[in-house]
Chains A and B, each alone.
Chain A
Amino acid sequence: MLALLRPALVSLGLFTLLLGLAYPLAITGVAQAAFPQQADGSLILRDGRVIGSALVGQAFTSPAYLQGRPSAVNYDATGSGASNLGPLNADLIAETLDRATAWRAETGSAEVPGDAVTASASGLDPHISPANAMAQAERVAAARGADISQVRAVIAAHVEGRTFGILGQPRVNVLQTNLALDDAFAPEQPDRP
């Protein structure tokens, strides 16, 4: 047994140095030097301040903005999480119904996109479907006193397609599109801090 102790302990020590320290630190060094923007979390700066990450959804409630999907953690990025409710769970069915009712009232749209009334896997989904975004265009235009066709044009410019034509789904990044909307039209109410 003692004969096994030395290789077991020494190899663990060496592997910990190589795989637990040298490997992640070397990758960190290369990534920070070669592509710091991505390595630091794809943060978006406005006026020198971090306003979020292009990859992480944040909460929007103003009618002048596109709103993201329902989130089980209310877009609190220190946690992450889903509802984890089964497909027949009574709470899930009731909640989905409530969301659909609220959606119809807010947008005036009879069609309810599936992603608009379901909680995402991460609770931080940065995207909505193009149908979801377009259905919110009328509300956004009204809140900003803007022309709806121009709002639709901003949204359409932010629709990302499938990678190589097959990977992933068409989608709209909520934060980036909202920043573009702010650039294109002044908001009706001054709800920017």
Chain B
Amino acid sequence: MNWQGWAEIALTLGLPFLLGWPIGIFISRVWNRERTWLDPVMAPVERGFYAALGVRPDQSQTWTGYAAALLAFNAAGFVLLYGILRLQGFLPLNPQGFGALSEPLAFNTAVSFVTNTNWQAYSGETTLTHLSQMAGLTVQNFLSAATGATVAAALARAFAADRQTGLGNFWADLVRTTLWVLLPISIVVALLLAVLGVPQTLSASASAATVEGGEQTIPMFAAASQLAIKQLGINGGGVFGVNSAHPLEGPTPLANFIAAVSINVLGWAAFFAFGRTALAGRNLRAIAIAALVLLSAGAATLYWTETQAPPALVAAGAEAAVNMEGKEVRFGAPASAVWAAMTTGASNGSVNSMHASYMPLGGGVQMFFMQLGEILPGGIGTGVGFMLMMALLAVFVAGLMVGRTPEYLGKKIEAREVQYAMLAVLVLPLTILGFSAAAAVLPVALESLANPGPHGLSEILYAYTSASANNGSAFAGLAADTPWWNTTLGLAMLMGRFPGIVVMLAIAGALAAKPKLAPSAGALPTDNGLFIGLLIGVILILGGLQFFPALALGPIVEHFQALDALAGL
């Protein structure tokens, strides 16, 4: 560990938080249909969309209407993407001549990109045509992110509302978030990445006659445009198999830094946008700070684990200051560690180092971050939404302790909201632990493991955690392109995405109908350090209680095995 490493980590964590503030205010203006400087360009396009869709953007929907539109849009997106992946062999822009994906793989991949998970059981450069990448995956990279943002917009309006039923219009939120926010920022980031060396070409590959007389075929693609929205939309699905570790996806430390900032910037912006639209800026800043504290602690822990002596290097008598297995020289420990924290805390799932080869406790931190429900800061909209569920539970717990009726952001929190919030929180352990338990005893699942012992259990646990939390990163040793894994992971992704969204919209519906209370001296303040501490405590206790037993059998026992192995060397 050195000061440059700590400085790099601090800058990579801090810059997206600071940038997220003004961008969040801009997003709030977009949600609220206020004037912005992009109106002259985007407003005509927007009007064209509404005319073609046949919707009235000012027609506010009830929570059921909003949820139905969201689900219909996502179902249609799934069908289209599944169709493209199955038919890609017959479609244009296929210079490599790739054939169709198998049914389980197409199901898994379509679910994966529609749910913003971007779990990849395939390797892009050997499987997907240009058309599948662009018209299929890039489109869902935008739309799954915009879908998440609509949930936050609806929930934020519910807190601002006073005895209303409407949550806004799903189609308007979808179109406006995409046109005003995701597309313009993606254009900027795509051009930055391209100038730094990420390929942006329609040719399939370049053939090189290498210096020593060999041949090397280097795959090419319109990568920069897809990578921009892959990170900004907190999607995480790489163009190439090894994702952002690939030297064409993360060519330089600066390109890596820009990509890392992009992973978190809109997640934080969604917190600030939520705060402005919900008329609760101070409160949302408080919960954003709670998330930043946890994220920073995880990044610091990962930097520490990856600068501990790894048994293999110690046994070989090599320099053992950094666990370089599965890491790139240009990134080293700090850029890899902070990325690992950000990608697992933010439901992104792209990797610039191989998580499977992290020290045991490092892998444990990555899993724990995902198991918290992707709230640090999570995906655009869904992150702040789940964080709000945690805040409701924290307010409820505090209410029990001090005997006050819980209130949050001017809304009374009653039994129904707390029950719904618990439902949203309990989906994750049910899916993760249920599927992991089944996979741990079924031979059809165990055939895919790459490592024996507790690390094998970690592979299983990591896979279902990543899928259920809609993260998408992997302990990549697992051979996941089998019918069992494609199907169960696909189901886990669906479970982790839509029940939670519907529950959040149901809570929004219930809250919108309640009167907006004036701040009173009797209510627990939710914008100060005490509440930040309480919220962090609730998050850690909830997450810990749910997942500690499973983690104890995987990464934690492996950590003690590692200490044992080192003592014997």
* A interface residues, Cβ below 8 angstroms from B: 1, 4-12, 14-16, 18-21, 23-28, 30-32, 34-35, 38-43, 49-53, 55-62, 65, 69, 75-89, 92-93, 95-97, 99-101, 111-129, 131, 162-163, 165-169, 171, 175, 178-179, 182, 191-193
**A86 and B357 within 8 A (CB):** yes
Select B329's contact among A24, A87, A127, A191, beta carbons within 8 Å: A127
The residues of A that contact B245 with a CB separation of less than 8 Å are 82, 120-122
Given contacts A31-B224, A53-B218, A58-B208, contact A12 B213 (CB under 8 A): no
A47 to chain B, nearest CB (A): 10
A164 to chain B, nearest CB (A): 8
The residues of B that contact A76 with a CB separation of less than 8 Å are 216
Give bound CA distance, A11 to B72, whole Å. Answer: 11
Top 4 A-B pairs, shortest CB-CB distance = A168-B253, A84-B477, A86-B455, A20-B135
B293 to chain A, nearest CB (A): 22
**B210 and A113 within 8 A (CB):** no
Give bound CA distance, A11 to B49, whole Å. Answer: 7
Select B562's contact among A88, A92, A97, beta carbons within 8 Å: A88
**B200 and A19 within 8 A (CB):** no
**B201 and A40 within 8 A (CB):** yes
* B interface residues, Cβ below 8 angstroms from A: 4, 7-8, 11, 49, 52-55, 68-69, 72-73, 75-77, 80, 123, 125-126, 134-136, 138-139, 142-143, 171, 174-175, 178, 183, 186-187, 190-191, 194-203, 205-214, 216-220, 222, 224-226, 229, 240-242, 245-248, 251-254, 256-257, 310-313, 315-332, 335, 351-354, 356-360, 450-453, 455, 458, 475-477, 558, 561-562, 565
The residues of B that contact A82 with a CB separation of less than 8 Å are 242, 245, 325-326, 354, 356-357, 476
Give bound CA distance, A166 to B356, whole Å. Answer: 26
Given contacts A11-B73, A59-B212, A77-B218, contact A114 B324 (CB under 8 A): yes
**A15 and B139 within 8 A (CB):** yes
**A23 and B138 within 8 A (CB):** yes
Given contacts A55-B248, A77-B217, contact A97 B242 (CB under 8 A): no
Closest chain B residue to A57, Cβ basis: B247
B250 to chain A, nearest CB (A): 9
**B318 and A88 within 8 A (CB):** no
**A85 and B212 within 8 A (CB):** no
**A39 and B200 within 8 A (CB):** yes
**B565 and A97 within 8 A (CB):** no
Closest chain A residue to B217, Cβ basis: A78
Give bound CA distance, A120 to B354, whole Å. Answer: 9
**A171 and B318 within 8 A (CB):** no
The residues of A that contact B257 with a CB separation of less than 8 Å are 163, 167
B359 to chain A, nearest CB (A): 5
B60 to chain A, nearest CB (A): 15
The residues of B that contact A42 with a CB separation of less than 8 Å are 197, 251
B132 to chain A, nearest CB (A): 10
**B138 and A24 within 8 A (CB):** yes
Closest chain B residue to A5, Cβ basis: B72
Would you give 9 A-B contacts (Cβ < 8 Å), ordered by A? A12-B76, A16-B80, A40-B199, A41-B220, A78-B205, A80-B246, A96-B315, A114-B318, A116-B318
Give bound CA distance, A23 to B136, whole Å. Answer: 13
The residues of B that contact A119 with a CB separation of less than 8 Å are 325-326
Give bound CA distance, A12 to B476, whole Å. Answer: 32
A35 to chain B, nearest CB (A): 5
The residues of A that contact B324 with a CB separation of less than 8 Å are 114-115, 118
Closest chain B residue to A60, Cβ basis: B212
The residues of B that contact A23 with a CB separation of less than 8 Å are 138, 183, 186-187, 225
B299 to chain A, nearest CB (A): 15
**B318 and A120 within 8 A (CB):** no
**B8 and A96 within 8 A (CB):** no
**A4 and B194 within 8 A (CB):** no
**A125 and B247 within 8 A (CB):** yes
**A169 and B329 within 8 A (CB):** yes
Give bound CA distance, A179 to B211, whole Å. Answer: 8
The residues of A that contact B126 with a CB separation of less than 8 Å are 78-79
**A169 and B330 within 8 A (CB):** yes
Give bound CA distance, A6 to B11, whole Å. Answer: 46
**B218 and A121 within 8 A (CB):** no
The residues of B that contact A77 with a CB separation of less than 8 Å are 216-219
**A19 and B142 within 8 A (CB):** yes
A151 to chain B, nearest CB (A): 17
Give bound CA distance, A120 to B565, whole Å. Answer: 23
Given contacts A12-B76, A40-B199, A53-B218, contact A114 B313 (CB under 8 A): yes
The residues of A that contact B11 with a CB separation of less than 8 Å are 166-167
The residues of B that contact A1 with a CB separation of less than 8 Å are 72
**B209 and A51 within 8 A (CB):** yes
A37 to chain B, nearest CB (A): 9
Give bound CA distance, A73 to B74, whole Å. Answer: 37
Closest chain A residue to B336, Cβ basis: A121
Closest chain A residue to B138, Cβ basis: A20
